[in-house]
Amino acid sequence: MDLRAHLTILTRLLTILLSAFAPMTRALAENFGKVGAVNQDATGTPPEGSAHTLVVGAGVVYKENIQTSAQGSTQILFPDQSTLNIGRNSSLVIDEYVYDPKTNHGSMLISLAKGTTRFVGGLISHNDGVVVNTPVAALGIRGGVATVVYPVSPKLAASDPNLAGCSGQMVIGHVGTLTLKNAVSQVTVRPGFAACVNGTNIPIVAPFRISDLVLANVVSTLRSAPGQNGGASTLPAAPFIASNQIGTVILNRPVHPPGADPLGYTSIFGGGSDVVRNKSQATQLKSGVAPPPYGAH
């Protein structure tokens, strides 16, 4: 067999091998995120690939760099039912995403180079936790919802005295346990609070209550601007929303003062009755008694 024949066999073997691996690669790609909504400009750049415009339904592959322009924003859905909203002027990479649907365990690592993102947790964050890195700190999310902004703009910092001097990363806790750490410090951020970290070697300041004004500013960057439709071909209308029973829930009060619950309520009356009974039954014996009526025994 000459060299040409050897090369032919080798080429065929390589072709078979590559053909065998190709579905696995595709499977890996399909098992990753899907673009659920997108406002342009938003692009994805796979590793060693070229940038392409994101469209609704497109897959997001391992280590793909997602970038949005000053008008762009997008939402990515993940197989563990978590979602990632990416706001305007953002750039991030999903460095790691492993999910086993049989066990509902996995791992997720996101690197935010700049911009705003909100992570809404799914099975991975509930069972194992998710990490969001920025150039200045790492955020661990356990079972919840969090918003990350990096860097904090001077305009945003000026909107709340608690953000004065904040120019690095801001983390807002919404649901679950958040742990923010850099090279020199670590803080826990509870729901309704935010924390700022200005550098890797600068201690993280104590978390503070997030103001509605700051939240409004941040939320506005994470959704469509006027005139945008997130890539939808048919816009949802109010009657359609109503017919699907969206927005009909009646919420219960979040706190129950004493007596506002059935057992507490009845125990108040019971407490009063007990005192009356103790006094009344003793007093009855002093109020006078007579021989028992006939047949009492």
Partner 1 sequence: MAYDGCPQRCWGQGRGMRSAIIAILSALGCFYLLFSMPSAQAQTIVSEQDRLFQQMLRNPKNLDITFSYVKVATDNGDYEAAIGALERVLFYQPNLARVKYELGSLYFRLGSYEMARRYFREALACPDIDATTKALIEASLPDADKQTQQSRLSGFAQTGLRYQTNASYAPTGGIVRLGGQDLALLPSATRGSDTNWFALAGISHDYDLDNQRGDTLETRFVGYTTEQARFSDLNVDQFDLSFGPRLALGTDLLPGATIKPYVVGGNTWLGGASYLGSAGAGISASIPVGARLTLGPEFEWRHVDFNNEDVVPLSSFNSGDWFTTGIALSSPLTQQLRLDTKGSYRRGDSQFNFQSFNQWVGEAALSYSFTPPFGGAPRNWNLSPFVRLIETDFDAPNPAIDPATTQRDTEWIAGVMLEAPLTKTFGVSTVVQYDRTNSTLPNFRQNNFSAMVGPTAHF
In the three-class reduction of DSSP (H, G, I as helix; E, B as strand; rest coil), residue 169 is classed as strand
What single-letter DSSP state applies at residue 128?
T
Q: Which residue of 29, 46, 77, 167 would you call a contact of partner 1, by CB under 8 A?
A: 77
Give the closest residue to 260 by CA, choosing from 248, 271, 252, 251.
Answer: 252
Residue 291 touches partner 1, criterion: CB under 8 A: yes
Binding residue for partner 1, selected from 23, 47, 165, 271, defined by CB under 8 A: 271
Q: Does 57 bind partner 1 (CB under 8 A)?
A: yes
Phi, psi of 12 (to 5 degrees): -65, -40
Q: Cα–Cα distance between 297 and 295 in angstroms, integer?
A: 5
Q: What Cα–Cα distance (Å) separates residue 293 from each residue in 47, 63, 172, 296?
A: 101, 95, 78, 6
Residue of 66, 108, 112, 120 interacting with partner 1 (CB under 8 A): 120
CA 124 centroid distance within chain: 11
Which one of 82, 114, 132, 149 is in contact with partner 1 (CB under 8 A)? 82
Shortest distance, position 266 Cβ to partner 1, whole Å: 6
Closer residue to partner 1 in complex, CB, 167/188: 188
Residue 47 is a binding residue for partner 1 (CB under 8 A): no
Question: In this structure, are residues 112 and 130 in contact, taking their beta carbons and an 8 Å threshold?
Answer: no
Return the range that interacts with partner 1 (CB under 8 A); candidates 45-53, 91-99, 158-166, 272-280: 272-280
Amino acid (one-letter) located at 176: G
Residue 53 is a binding residue for partner 1 (CB under 8 A)? no
Contacting residues for 224 by C-beta, under 8 A, at least 6 apart? 37, 39, 73, 230
Among 73, 116, 169, 198, binds partner 1 (CB under 8 A): 73
**Which of residues 18, 51, 95, 261 is near partner 1 by CB under 8 A?**
261
List 160, 193, 197, 204, residue binding partner 1 (CB under 8 A): 193
Q: In the bound complex, what is the minimum distance in angstroms from residue 6's beta carbon to partner 1?
A: 45
* Beta-carbon contacts of residue 7 (< 8 Å; ≥ 6 apart): none
Task: Please report whether residue 250 would count as binding partner 1 according to CB under 8 A.
Answer: yes
Find the DSSP H helices in 173-286: 212-220, 238-243, 262-286
* 290 makes contact with partner 1 (CB under 8 A): yes
Position 103 contacts partner 1 (CB under 8 A)? no
Please report, as residue ranges, which positions from 215 to 234 form the binding site for partner 1 (by CB under 8 A). 215-216, 219, 223-224, 226, 228-234
